[in-house]
Amino acid sequence: MPDSPTSPFKAYEAAFSAIIGPAPTLDCLLKVDEFPFAHEAGVFVAATDELFITSNQYCDPVSDKKKVQISRVVLSSDRTTAQRHDVDCDAIQMGNGGVNYRDDKEVLFCAQGSMTQPSGLFAMETCHPYKTRQVIAGFHGRPFNSVNDVVVQRESGCIWFTDPSYGYEQGYRPRPRLPSQVYCYAPDTDTIRAVADGFGHPNGLCFAPDETMLYVTDTDWIHGDGTTDDSRVSSIYAFDVVHYAGEPFLTNRRLFAMADTGIPDGIKCDMQGNVYSGCGDGINVWSPGGVLLGKILVDGGAANFCFGRDGELFVLNETRLWRAQLGSRVRGALLGI
């Protein structure tokens, strides 16, 4: 039973039962002890049953330098196993968040950058040889800090992304020349705007199903050197998306929820407007009204995750990739499948 003491599915409200269904499962698809391959991005490509993910930072044994590895994970048809393949893409330095792009022909990755290579957004083709192009790498001549996560607005095609200062704090990016902010980039007109500030470390972001709200996580509880402070923010903020003079604006900023364990990192919505976030104890799920409904407990927590199809959730847990099967009617708002 989901509510048994040994179950990884912990309900706080009865509504969580409708989300997880009568027989939820959590299974490990892939384990790689050599390095933390499953950390961020989590982009599900439905046509090929593949995931594109980015690792956490680790020391490359060849170069003896910090590195992030992009992986292509091929899922078995019965969803019991998975195979991982390295994706070699030197243009994307210290990759982090990612999202489906151009009808799954590309993945839009956040490159945190390095001391010599830019931080920004890069579009990588989903087929070998993974041809890559730079989308944007600065704000009117000023370099980004270390772009973290990204989402694409369906209606307008605008690209929204966060840019905290983790790269500088972790020693692989120059001193910031911009505040830690949220940006909106319009590819059609090649225009970029800062749309939200006042964050410690803006991190994950996602739209509500109808795209009238944007959720942004602030992970200021943990700084780049690994130190934490319980008095600092570990929260999700909600904004209303409105339009003025033909441009989108974020208004009515409010505290949506606070994570009780660790930080709310990657964030997604389902089609019912429930909000999911990777936290220090796994995946936390809130109602559209900000009530904690339940958790999918994963030892070591989860930085990020993504929806698959028919209620499946792929959870990135550093050296392990998990598959949670929720109720079959659950659909991720990003793909709607």
**What does the pLDDT read at residue 336?**
97
> Per residue, what are the HEC states of the chain?
CCCCCCCCEEECCCHHHHHHCCCCEEEEEEECCCCCCECEEEEEECCCCEEEEECCCEECCCCCCEECCEEEEEECCCCCCEEEEEECCCCCCCEEEEEEECCCCEEEEEECCCCCCCCEEEEEECCCCCCEEEEECEECCEECCCCCCEEECCCCCCEEEEECCHHHHCCCCCCCCCCCEEEEEECCCCEEEEEECCCCCEEEEEECCCCCEEEEEECCCECCCCCECCCCCCEEEEEEEEEECCEEEEEEEEEEEECCCCCCCCEEEECCCCEEEEECCEEEEECCCCCEEEEEECCCCCCEEEECCCCEEEEEEECEEEEEECCCCCCECCCCC
Decide if pLDDT at 5 tops 90: no
Asked whether residue 130 is assigned to any structural domain, the reply reads yes
Asked whether residue 330 is assigned to any structural domain, the reply reads no
pLDDT (mean) for 53-60? 96
Quick one: pLDDT band at residue 2, thresholds 50, 70, 90? low
The CB density around residue 141, as the number of other CB atoms within 10 Å, is: 6
With beta carbons less than 8 A apart as the criterion, state whether 225 and 167 touch.
no
**What does the pLDDT read at residue 3?**
62
Asked whether residue 210 is assigned to any structural domain, the reply reads yes
Q: Give how many domains the chain has, as a whole number.
A: 1
**What does the pLDDT read at residue 62?**
87
Asked whether residue 2 is assigned to any structural domain, the reply reads no
pLDDT (mean) for 64-80? 95
Asked whether residue 332 is assigned to any structural domain, the reply reads no
pLDDT in tens, 295-314: 999 999 999 999 999 999 99
Asked whether residue 224 is assigned to any structural domain, the reply reads yes
Residues in the chain: 337
What percent of the chain has a predicted confidence (pLDDT) above 90? 95
**What does the pLDDT read at residue 1?**
43
Write out the residue range of the structural domain in which residue 109 sits: 9-325
Asked whether residue 3 is assigned to any structural domain, the reply reads no
Q: Please give the residue that has the higher pLDDT: either 62 or 20.
A: 20
**What does the pLDDT read at residue 314?**
98
pLDDT in tens, 99-140: 999 999 999 999 999 999 999 999 999 999 999 999 999 999
Q: What is the CATH number of the domain that holds 275?
A: 2.120.10.30
Decide if pLDDT at 4 tops 80: no
Asked whether residue 250 is assigned to any structural domain, the reply reads yes
Bridge partners, 185 (sequence order)? 159, 192
With beta carbons less than 8 A apart as the criterion, state whether 119 and 111 touch.
yes
**What does the pLDDT read at residue 155?**
87
pLDDT in tens, 203-254: 999 999 999 999 999 999 998 889 999 999 999 999 999 999 999 999 999 9
